[in-house]
Amino acid sequence: MSPKRYELIVFDWDGTIMDSTGLIAECIQLAARDRCLPIPSTDAAKSIIGLGIRESTAQLFPDLDQAAQTAFALAYRQHFVARDHEAPLYGGIRELLAELDHPARFLAVATGKPRAGLERAFAHTGLKSAFHYSRCADEGFAKPHPDMLLKLMDFAAVPPERTLMIGDTVHDLDLANNAGVAAIAVTYGAHPADLLATRASINTVGTVNELAAWLKQNA
């Protein structure tokens, strides 16, 4: 079996593997209500998906002091943890991951979730064994800092030119560009196609089936 072009393929989680962006936005809005803060629109709430909780809170509510930001983050976590099992995988994701399974390839996750959140998602979906490595926002620098991809490439001993990032937000694409890694943008998640088009990527796909077809041909 010959090596594939990309030896390390890294997926974002929310909005790329799991159809959770609507639930995340709703929980952000509920937390804002609980804390008597201006309730962001669904689009505004989705715009920060992919960032770490501290970074996203600061972006949504920049005038809050540290204590108020922490209180909002806790309110969000309470809502989301109680319901994160409700979010389904996108149709075709299991089959795609099985198709990508290859002795000469590593699969990984780079997510804005904390480690505890990703482990819950792995448990709910049974997908932990599909990935060789994962990196979370509370284990280093959050997106779009290149830390996540740099660590994953180091773990797998794969260079940037053999690494591919797949994500649904500009934060994912910025992460890839900052790490010198090629990226695929998916438009079925949190950020719309016109926003994703403001960042460099080697391709944009609208469905999991389109992503699978591109990977079969090119990866």
CA separation for the pair 27, 19 (Å, rounded): 14
Which amino acid would we find at residue 10? V
Question: Could you count the other beta carbons within 10 Å of the beta carbon of residue 97?
Answer: 19
Look at residue 61 and tell me whether its pLDDT is greater than 70: yes
Domain annotation for the chain: domains and CATH numbers: 8-19+88-218 (3.40.50.1000), 21-85 (1.10.150)
* Interatomic CA distance for residues 122 and 25, integer angstroms: 21
Give per-residue pLDDT as tens, 65-85.
Answer: 999 999 999 999 999 999 999
pTM for this entry: 0.94
β-sheet with 8-11: strand ranges across:
133-136, 106-111, 8-11, 163-167, 182-186, 203-205
